Amino acid sequence: MILVTGATGNIGSELVKKLSANHHNVRAFVRSRWQSREIAHKGVELTEGDFTDPDTFTRALRDVDRLFLLIPSSAEVERQQKNFVDAAKQSGVKHIVKLSQLGADENAPGRFQRYHGAVEKYILESGVPYTFLRPNLFMQGLLNFGEMISALGTFYAPAGDDKVKVSVVDVRDIASVAARVLTESGHEGETYDITGPEPLSHAEMASQLSHAVGRAIKYVEVSPEGMRHAMLGSEMPKWQVDGLVEDYAHYCRGEGAVVTSTVYDVTGVNPINFFQFARDYSGKFMGKAAVRA
């Protein structure tokens, strides 16, 4: 049995779908069965739980031998993931596949990379066989700007000039790698950096998005403080806001431009490029006028 946490998010939902389609026994850890019907594919068992309540972990882990560990970022996420690792070890889980982040390190400048690095170390010390998946910036992160792009044809970020490039990756590829790692032998003890096929600046992403959608879309550079102010104004938690600003500083240092062959090496399929992502999700960026036309 495979337990997938974070099962209703971008990666988790894709992973559940892929595992179900290949007839693997899957259990999805969800907050509410009723609100998770979109992942209730044939053969998928839903189990309710709460990341703030470790007692629910033990029930979810019953008869599980492989765990996909993904818990949404929060100020408590490091402790929550360590608690899940403890429960997994006590339950006899034979393989933990942790969704981490490119550059994860306990001593990294960014808090997201630091907590991922701390949890990776905790898993290593637990003695449970592991695989760490370290993806770069998600292409689907642009969907968070979908309404703004639809309305204004613009998105904003402190992502530097055209020299600052990021090898953005499609979450569908991350899920494909995770599905292979969870269902094949030979991946234990590995750390996989997962990227898209090419490094792109945010201006280049805007250009490709424009061609895919058929309307002009522009990237506008803002200062880190400007981004922080805007996100705090949208009532995003300060811890998360500061983490996102730190991530963009990481990209501006050139640390997100690396390209790896992991997607192809693990799955045998070339990674999805940004233009294909833009075409597949074009309806999210077209705007009302374009849709009416």
- Distance of alpha carbon 193 from its chain centroid, rounded? 13
Least confident of 29-33, 157-161, 197-201: 29-33
Residue-wise pLDDT for 16-45, tens only, equals: 999 999 999 999 999 877 677 778 777 789
pLDDT for residue 293: 34
Dist. CA 13–CA 133, nearest whole Å: 17
pLDDT for residue 288: 53
Give the model's confidence band at 5: pLDDT under 50 very low, under 70 low, under 90 confident, else very high. Answer: very high
pLDDT for residue 36: 75
Q: pTM of the entire structure?
A: 0.94
Q: What is the CATH number of domain 2-135?
A: 3.40.50.720
- Phi/psi at 6 (5° precision): 60, 35
Where along the chain do the CATH 3.40.50.720 domains lie? 2-135
Closest CA to 219 of 103, 255, 227: 227
DSSP 3-state assignment of 162?
coil
Q: Is the pLDDT of residue 194 over 90?
A: yes
Closest CA to 8 of 78, 70, 54: 70
Dist. CA 138–CA 29, nearest whole Å: 22
Residue-wise pLDDT for 62-91, tens only, equals: 999 999 999 988 899 999 999 999 999 999
Q: Which residues contact 197 (CB under 8 A, 6 or more apart)?
A: 167, 259, 270, 271, 272, 273
- Tell me the mean pLDDT in the region 247-265: 96
Residue-wise pLDDT for 100-135, tens only, equals: 999 999 999 999 999 999 999 999 999 999 999 999
The CATH architecture one would assign to domain 139-165+197-258+272-292 is Alpha-Beta Complex (3.90)
Give the residue with greater pLDDT, 42 vs 213: 213
